[in-house]
């Protein structure tokens, strides 16, 4: 078995370690733990005065505990208070967004498995600058995405499949970790929120939606 873009293959029990998967399975990690921490850093870069961060988190995703630890650790290191708001993917999100606003949240990180167009609409409605990992987030109206380069991960998987077909064992192929990451910025959303995107973020963006 070869997997693609798994958030935390060790933490969720898919493999024993990245270096030695230890079973008939290998593939590519999305580096989502590292991405989660970087998302908080981007919030700080966007909103230097922000002190309260909401996280829209998936109540039924086995990756969620690791994800929240990563976001929480990064937030604490930057002097930001983080509070998770747990939801199920199929349920309405309106109540969670209302709770965020009532508790004074100034920005939002959306777990990747919860990205929906209505979540982007709600973030804009409640005037919460929001970051997530999938590239579909800013294309659906979210402010900013930051993630591993999915195309590069697919090419890596193709190379793994080729090696397996030539006789290699999955247990002997280390899980590949991403080396390239991409940012997409939605300037329309930034303008609607009254935000100026720092040049340091724009200059590193792979795509700017305007």
Burial classification of residue 19, based on how many CB atoms lie within 10 Å of its CB (0-12 exposed, 13-18 middle, 19 or more buried):
exposed
Predicted local confidence at residue 81, as pLDDT: 97
Q: What is the pLDDT of residue 8?
A: 66
116-164, pLDDT tens digit by residue?
A: 999 999 999 999 999 998 899 999 999 999 987 776 667 777 877 878 8
What pLDDT is attached to residue 4? Answer: 66
Q: What is the mean pLDDT of residues 181-205?
A: 94
Residues 6+ apart with CB under 8 A from 195: 46, 47, 129, 143
Q: What is the pLDDT at residue 34?
A: 76
**Closest to 196 in 3D by CA, of 205, 206, 204, 187:** 187
pLDDT at residue 203 is higher than 80: yes
Number of neighbours of residue 43 by Cβ within 10 angstroms:
26
**Residue-wise pLDDT tens digits, 16-67:** 666 777 777 777 766 677 788 889 999 999 999 999 999 999 999 988 998 9
**Which region holds residue 95: left if phi is over 0, alpha if psi is between -120 and 50, else beta?**
alpha
Residue 7 has pLDDT above 80, yes or no: no
**The pLDDT of residue 16:** 64
All domains of the chain in start order, with CATH: 2-29+149-172 (no CATH), 32-148+181-209 (3.40.50.2300)
- Other CB atoms within a 10 A radius of the CB of residue 47 amount to 15
- In DSSP terms, 183 is beta-bridged to 146
Task: Mark 195-208 as b/e (b = at least 16 C-beta within 10 Å).
Answer: bebeeebeeebeee
Q: What is the pLDDT of residue 148?
A: 75
Percent of the chain, pLDDT > 90? 61
The C-alpha angle 153, 159, 162, rounded to 5 degrees, equals 145
Output the average pLDDT for the chain: 88
Q: How far apart are CA 178 and CA 189, in angstroms?
A: 28
Q: DSSP states of 53-98 as a string?
A: EEEEEETT-TTHHHHHHHHHHHHHHTT-EEEEEEE-TTS--HHHHH
Does residue 70 have a pLDDT over 70? yes
The per-residue pLDDT for 187 is 97
Question: What pLDDT band is residue 190 in, cutting at 50, 70 and 90?
Answer: very high
| 183 pLDDT higher than 80 | yes
């Amino acid at each position: 078995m070869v997997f693609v873009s798994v958030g935390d293959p060790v933490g969720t029990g898919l493999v024993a370690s990245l270096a030695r998967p230890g079973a008939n399975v290998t593939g590519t990690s999305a580096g989502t733990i590292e991405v989660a921490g970087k998302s908080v850093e981007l919030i700080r870069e966007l909103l230097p005065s922000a002190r309260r961060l909401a996280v829209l988190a998936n109540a039924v995703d086995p990756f969620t505990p690791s994800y929240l630890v990563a976001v929480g650790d990064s937030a604490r290191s930057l002097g930001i208070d983080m509070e998770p708001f747990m939801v199920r993917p199929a349920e309405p999100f309106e109540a969670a967004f209302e709770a965020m606003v009532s508790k004074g949240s100034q920005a939002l990180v959306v777990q990747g498995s919860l990205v929906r167009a209505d979540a982007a609409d709600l973030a804009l409605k409640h005037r919460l600058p929001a970051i997530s990992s999938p590239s579909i987030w800013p294309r659906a109206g979210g402010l900013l995405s930051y993630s591993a380069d999915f195309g590069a991960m697919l090419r890596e998987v193709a190379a793994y499949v080729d090696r397996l077909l030539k006789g290699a064992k999955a247990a002997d192929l280390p899980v590949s970790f991403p080396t390239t990451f991409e940012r997409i910025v939605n300037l329309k959303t930034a303008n609607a929120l009254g935000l100026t995107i720092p040049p340091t973020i724009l200059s590193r963006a792979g795509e700017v939606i305007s």
